[in-house]
Amino acid sequence: MTDSHQMFCTLMQTFLLHLPRSAWGDIRRLVTLAWAVVGLCWSQKASLSSWGEAVKSQAHQAASHTRRFQRWVDNAQIRVQALYAPLVQAALTAWSPRGRVYVALDVSVLHGSPFVLIRVSLIYRGRAIPLAWRVLRHASATVGYADYVGVLDQAAACLPTGLEVIFLADRGFVHQELFQWLRRQQWHYRVRLTADTLIHFPDRRVVPVGQLLPAKGAAHFYHRVHLLGVALGPCHLALAQLDQPNQDPWLLVSDEYTDLTTFDEYGLRFDLEENFLDDKSNGFQVEASRLDTPAALERLFLVLAVATLHFTSVGVGVVRLKLRRWVDAHWDRGMSYLKIGWSWLRQQFRRGWPRMPALWLDPAPDPEPAMASRRKATRPKPKWVVAFKT
């Protein structure tokens, strides 16, 4: 049995264990999904024409494999979230109902195409695990609430009940409807504001938040204010400006009292940028797909999401067993969990290495946070002049 066939069998066992029959209907849909993830693993790019090299089937012509994957991404009967949500839930079974998780929303332009990807992801150990997504034919990365509310609903349905969710988003999502949705879901939030966002004070002053910007090197905190023209709230502000050139100020709003840790929490949102990089030049090379419809791209991102979840789960298992240095040449962890798991899977079967859980994200703190270099890790953090304002 080849390495790719071994991986295919593992994925099929996992799918059949966690996915109800109502989610897939025809077994051929699961088979093709499993081979797509295997093909992505071995070809290292999101190109349908490259995946066939890993496939074991009765078809011999390369074009036959390509057509098979093309029919799959074009198949309207394949319901993306119905196939994906149970897999996420399986990976999160060990998470305590009272645990705190960070969830981020962002938009990425698919280079060289007229499409943008709206995605909500779970921040996890320096990277992000996709929860739900939508592809739109759109002229820019600026989208409205109506464009992404369905993605939020799907992401909320993925998460186990009882988790304390902290929502992170950039200034392009400062919409009244979003804050109302977050309140209904009982999600906490840390959202970056635009400088013209209106702030209402208890003494009835109304000023744009940009007018409250502190001096460089200072951080100011305002509690129990209200937001936007309709005075949403009460909420709390954390405003800061680094004493460095070419740095945008951080204007953050939170539903919980703010302090210096609010900046650290919001900083987790940048792990989502690493996930977009994994999709593109640093990993799956999604631009190589050349798909030309939003629906086909959404199914392609299902393949990428399953691969991300599976590879990361394997990477978590490798680190947990203290076997990371079998695939990572760095003394301290220099590879993401996704890359660790990816490298492990490409060698596991032929080297006779232990099999790791296919879907399992450890809720414990990261035992080996990634370190670009020891010199960088020893650099002092910025020191702030802190003031609590009224």
Give me 358's structure tokens: 């296919």
pLDDT by residue (tens digit) across 201-248?
999 899 999 999 998 889 999 999 999 988 898 999 999 988 777 788
Enumerate the domain spans of the chain: 1-79+297-363+372-390, 95-273
pLDDT by residue (tens digit) across 95-145?
988 789 999 999 988 877 889 999 999 999 989 999 999 999 988 888 999
pTM for the whole thing?
Answer: 0.92
Q: What angle do CA 102, 103, 108 make, to 5 degrees?
A: 135
Residues of the chain above pLDDT 90, percent: 67
Measured between alpha carbons, how far is 234 from 33 in angstroms, rounded to an integer?
46
Q: What CATH class is the domain 95-273?
A: alpha beta
Phi–psi pair at 37, nearest 5 degrees: -65, -40
User: Are 151 and 133 within 8 A, CB to CB?
Assistant: yes
Measured between alpha carbons, how far is 351 from 346 in angstroms, rounded to an integer?
10
**Which residue stretches of the chain have pLDDT < 50?**
373-374, 376-377
**CB neighbourhood size of 274 (10 A):** 16
What is each CA distance from 311 to 7, 184, 371, in whole angstroms? 11, 34, 20
Measured between alpha carbons, how far is 90 from 101 in angstroms, rounded to an integer?
16
Give me 282's structure tokens: 């640093």
Using DSSP bridges, classify how beta strands 198-200 and 188-192 pair: parallel, antiparallel or unpaired.
Answer: unpaired
